[in-house]
Structure formats: structure tokens, C-alpha cells
Amino acid sequence: MSANLQNWAGHHTFSTARVHRPQTVEQLQALVSQSSKLKVLGSRHSFNDIADATGDLVSLDDLEPTFLVDRERHTVTVNGSITYGQLCQQLHADGYAIHNMASLPHITVAGAISTATHGSGDHNGNLATAVAALELVKANGDLVLLAREQNREEFEGAVVGLGAVGAITKVTLDIAPAFVMQQEVYEDLPVAQVEAHFDEITSSAYSVSLFTDWQKERVNQLWLKRHLTNGAALAVAPTLFEAIHAPAPRHPVTALPAAPCTEQMGVVGPWHERLPHFRVDHTPASGDELQTEYFVPRQHAVEAMRAVIRILSSQGPIESLLWISEVRTVAADSLWMSPSYQRDSVGIHFSWRKNWAVVQKLLPTIEEAFAPFQARPHWGKLFTMSPVHLQSLYPKLPEFRELLHAYDPQGKFRNPYVDKYIFGTEV
């Protein structure tokens, strides 16, 4: 790998260029037991230093692929390093589906679950909630299997593990029969409608996204991804909550070409070609962006959105600050370090223009406005809140620390990010 290994957005350069590529699990076990500091890389789509290491980096891309469907238990077991793009194509060919996907299919399964990556849907937990079992190499080199049904406590602690529990070799995911969907985009949804009908809007499809630049008292685009139980197309209403059906396919940033986006206009297609916003064979964007996201309990969604409108109205021209924001819903779960732990949540996401100096100054204002809602930041995106405040948002944090001590007493898998946000004392 290159001497200047960077994340997807290119604004974070990894601290080391030493990347090991074991070809077998035994080689990985030997590497882990001999190393004093290491971190496993996913596809490097995170926006902060969560995947960085001061010692060794490890890519698991060269391990022999695994793809085992268990038709009785309704699960699939794959390598943690598989991308959702690869997984979903194979799964669909076998007649199966997973419950949800992120906006893009290019990220790895292990990397996504480690940060609680999510899609949308009132009844859809984040992607980590589909995990039924994890196989990982612990710091001492032992290979362990953690299964939801057999080791519930440790399992619930380890799944959203921030890369700090061990090197995930295999992941078993819940699957369901493949299904078809259709996707429609509506434009200019009045904020007044969102305020009056938030629950109706977010429950109007299997997965719903609101894309907004927070201007003109309207949400720019409303994306509906509808699950078709009997496979037949549903009628597309010309208007919805006063928003108007877009006359042509749209990119979330209306001015950009829609070519990278999954098919819209109500055309029926397979689940994995509708759930993500971006097509597997396209780059979702140029990388010229920084991302931030906060999860608030869903009952505070409208208040939190109103706070953002207030804050961003005093920031000058929005085009020079923000590409677009997205609002999605995520069902509550029981995974200790999940931002949706024990609460139905709404993720308020920002794709900022790539100007960290400006964004860094603005985030504390947003975090202050969201603080009364106990907003939890996305683990893989940019935030500025203090470690002590962040830790106060996670009731299971003491147990998570104990889990890390038990699995990794010398802190091999701990990096500056984990030291700061999980063990740090900065107020």
C-alpha cells in the first residue's frame, strides 16, 4: 500500500504505512499475538481516526472468501472484510436479502458494524443489528466465536466494537427472502408538514430519507424506498404532504447528476439496488466532503431540526458550507455502543464542504443545541464533544471498558481514538 495511506475523503493520513495482509486466519493469529499495537482496516470510509494505528495496520482482504448460507437458521456467514456490494449481489443471487443498507454499498461489513452504520426505516435497526455471530481474533491470538444466542452479554458489547475488541474474521448475518422495492423522490416538502406529520412521513415507506439544506422552510427532497410484498408496482402519487414528485431522477444534491444514484421514478427492482442511495458500480461522490451525524431520540427530532435551521440561518451562504443534510430514522437496539442503544432514534447527518477549520468551529454550536436531547455522535464521522460528555451518553460504557480489558488487557487494539473517547478524562 502507498506510503501515504488516507481515508476515503482524503483528509486523514494514517500514522503508519505498515499494512500487513495475512492470507490465512493462522497468519492473522500469529500477527496479532506478536504485535503490540494494531488495527484492522475496513474500506477506510470513516471520517475520523477510528481506524488508525500507531503500530501495525492489517487488511483482511486477502483471506480466502467465505459465503455460507444456512437455510434453516436464515443466516449467511461471510468474511468481515467483504463489502456490502459483494455480499448483496451474491445473497440476492441465492434468493436472500439483508434488512437494510447504508447510503453506499462500498463499505465492509466489519467496518460498518464496528461503527453502527445505518440506513433508514422506523422498524429497521442499524446494520449491526443484523449480526447473529462474530468470529474474531483476540489480542492473545485466540480465535473466539461470539453468538447472540449463546453469549448474549459479551455479544451485545462486542458487535459495535469500534475496532477495539479484536480482529473480526467472520460475521454471521440474519437474512430474509429476497424482495423487490421501488423508489420515489419528492421535492420541496414544507417544514410545516414535517413538524405536523413527522411520524406519518417517516412511516410512509420501508425506508425514508429527508434531504435538506435547511433553507426556505422546506426539505429539498423526500426519498421513499417501498417494500413490495407481492412484487407489483405501487401507484406513484403526484404529491405527498405537499411535496411534488420529481419529474426526473435526482441526486441528493439536486444540482449534481443523478447517474451515481440507484433507480428512482417508481421502477421496481431488487432490494439491493434500491436500499442504498448510490449504485455499486459508481463512486458515490468525489470525496470532497466531511461528514458529521448526531442521533437524537425520535421524539425530539422536530425540535432538533428546528435548532439546525436556526443555527444555519446565521452562517452565510449555505452552498459554501454544506453539500446537503439527511434525516433518517433508526429503530432502537440493545448493542451497548450503538447510538440507538435503547432508543428509537433519528440521525441528523451533514455532508459538509471540505473545510475543517470552518466545520470544527460550527460543530460545538450544534452539539450544544443537541445536548438537551442527549445526542450521540456517529462513531465514524466528525464531532467535537468532550470524551467525558460522550461517555455520559452510554449507560453500558463501564461494561464495554471491562470487555476491552478482558479481551485485550494490554490494549493492543486501542488507538488514540479509543484511548480518548472510551478511556479519556478530558471534560
From 29, 100, 103, 345, residue interacting with ligand FAD (rule: CB under 6 A): 103
**Element (DSSP H or E) covering residue 390:** helix 387-392
Query: Does residue 251 bind ligand FAD (CB under 6 A)?
Result: no
Query: Does residue 45 bind ligand FAD (CB under 6 A)?
Result: yes
Residues forming beta bridges with residue 328, ordered by sequence position = 209, 347
**Nearer Cβ to ligand FAD (118/412):** 118
Of 104-112, 202-210, 302-310, 382-390, the segment contacting ligand FAD by CB under 6 A is 104-112
Query: Does residue 212 bind ligand FAD (CB under 6 A)?
Result: no
Query: Does residue 341 bind ligand FAD (CB under 6 A)?
Result: no
Query: Does residue 226 bind ligand FAD (CB under 6 A)?
Result: no
How many angstroms separate the Cα of 188 from the Cα of each of 209, 257, 264? 13, 18, 17
**Element (DSSP H or E) covering residue 269:** strand 269-270
How many angstroms separate the Cα of 177 from the Cα of each of 35, 77, 96, 97, 224? 42, 16, 4, 6, 21
Query: Does residue 284 bind ligand FAD (CB under 6 A)?
Result: yes
Alpha-carbon distance 26 to 142, whole Å? Answer: 10
Alpha-carbon distance 18 to 56, whole Å? Answer: 6
Q: How far is the CB of 344 from ligand FAD (least distance, A)?
A: 16
Query: Does residue 98 bind ligand FAD (CB under 6 A)?
Result: no
How many angstroms separate the Cα of 100 from the Cα of each of 206, 272, 277, 298? 10, 9, 12, 19
Query: Does residue 128 bind ligand FAD (CB under 6 A)?
Result: no
Residue 69 DSSP SS3: strand
Write the DSSP symbol of residue 218.
E
**Which string of x and - marks every residue 146-185 that binds ligand FAD (by CB under 6 A)?**
----------------xx---xx-----------------
From 22, 42, 121, 339, residue interacting with ligand FAD (rule: CB under 6 A): 42
104: closest CA among 345, 380, 332?
A: 380
Q: How far is the CB of 135 from ligand FAD (least distance, A)?
A: 10
Query: Does residue 102 bind ligand FAD (CB under 6 A)?
Result: yes
How many angstroms separate the Cα of 83 from the Cα of each of 65, 144, 157, 160? 11, 22, 23, 17
From 28, 32, 38, 40, residue interacting with ligand FAD (rule: CB under 6 A): 40
120: closest CA among 301, 353, 284?
A: 301
From 12, 20, 99, 118, residue interacting with ligand FAD (rule: CB under 6 A): 118
**Per CB under 6 A, which of residues 376..405 are in contact with ligand FAD?**
378, 380
Q: How far is the CB of 382 from ligand FAD (least distance, A)?
A: 11
Query: Does residue 252 bind ligand FAD (CB under 6 A)?
Result: no
Give yes or no for a contact between 170 and 77, defined as CB atoms under 8 angstroms apart: yes
Binding site for ligand FAD (CB under 6 A): 8, 39-46, 50-51, 60, 80-81, 102-104, 107-108, 110-112, 114-115, 117-118, 162-163, 167-168, 284-285, 291, 378, 380
